[in-house]
Amino acid sequence: MLVDYHTHHYRCGHATGDLIDYARAAARRGLSEIGLSDHSPIYHLGPDPHARPGTAMAQGEFPAYVEEMRRVRDELRGDVTVRLGVESDYVLGWDDHYRALWQDAGLDYVIGSVHWLGTWSIFNRDLPRGRTRQDVYEEYLRTTQAAARSGAYDVIGHLDCLKTRGHIPDLGVTPLLEETVAVLREADVTIELNTSGWRKGLGEPFPREAWLNVCFEQGVPVTLGSDSHRPQDVGADFDEAVRLLRRVGYREFAAFEGRVRTMRPLD
Ligand SMILES: [Zn+2]
Ligand SMILES: [Zn+2]
């Protein structure tokens, strides 16, 4: 019985469906748990409370999002366990703003994702002015380390997401990658096997197998997420994901309740 801890819904502006549609999709798929984890509001791009309508929910929307997650959890009790989460950005220097957003929201887990290096989005097709791919790679992994060390997150999202637009000079195992995974271990955070890489045509999930091997060898726990932006993608490619995790050596995955991790067998 698997969990899908990475899902979105209409509030972020680039996904479709209501929260309950995702939860029902999980029940239909036979998952034991669905984690709702839409993109948190964005703070670091200036005073506009809805700086990027197509990227994340407005700042004022967060309480309604949490309230609706609670309703969905109650409504589907008995069909599927609904966990309350959020995918929050990790932006250097903005820890406290993001942390303050959710710390009293009664969430089950928080995914910390590096989507931004300052004001540059890793999904931008162009590199930041005057920066090389190597510069961006180093800053991305060092920012990931800072996210883990911040203690604000339970799960670090899509570890090698920088590859989406090809802004990564080395997808192999570099000393900086090994150092980064050691920091994840030391900080006791969980990574996710995020299956959306397959749906994005990358031919592999996030992170790729070579990176997963390093995580497994260093003892970093893993959970599963589809990163679905449509209800029909809940649990997508999980058979393939489980085969991959088992090939790497994982025999259990992480589940969360009230920000406490428990390990379950990966059957
Ligand atoms: Zn998204
Ligand atoms: Zn993300």
Report the separation in Å between the CA atom of 113 and the middle of ligand 2, taken as the mean of its atom positions.
6
Q: Minimum-distance ligand to the CA of 197?
A: 2
Q: Which residue ranges make up each domain of the chain?
A: 3-265
- pLDDT, tens only, 71-109: 999 999 999 999 999 999 999 988 888 888 888 999 999
Which ligand has the nearest atom to the CA of 113?
2
166: left (phi over 0), alpha (psi -120 to 50) or beta: left
Ligand 1 centroid–CA 18 distance in Å is: 14
Distance from Cα 16 to the centre of ligand 1, integer Å: 10
Q: Which of 115, 110, 133, 119 is nearest to 62 (CA)?
A: 110
Provide the mean pLDDT of the chain: 96
pLDDT score of 51: 83
Residue 227's pLDDT is what? 98
Nearest ligand to the CA atom of 13: 1
Supply angle C-alpha 33, 37, 43, rounded to 5: 165
| pLDDT given for residue 97 in this prediction | 86
CA 11 – ligand 1 centroid, Å: 10
CA 54 to ligand 2 center in whole angstroms: 14
Q: Which CATH class is domain 3-265?
A: alpha beta
- pLDDT for 32: 96
Report the separation in Å between the CA atom of 217 and the middle of ligand 2, taken as the mean of its atom positions: 25
CA of 194 relative to ligand 1 center, distance in Å: 12
Which residues in the chain come in under a pLDDT of 50? none
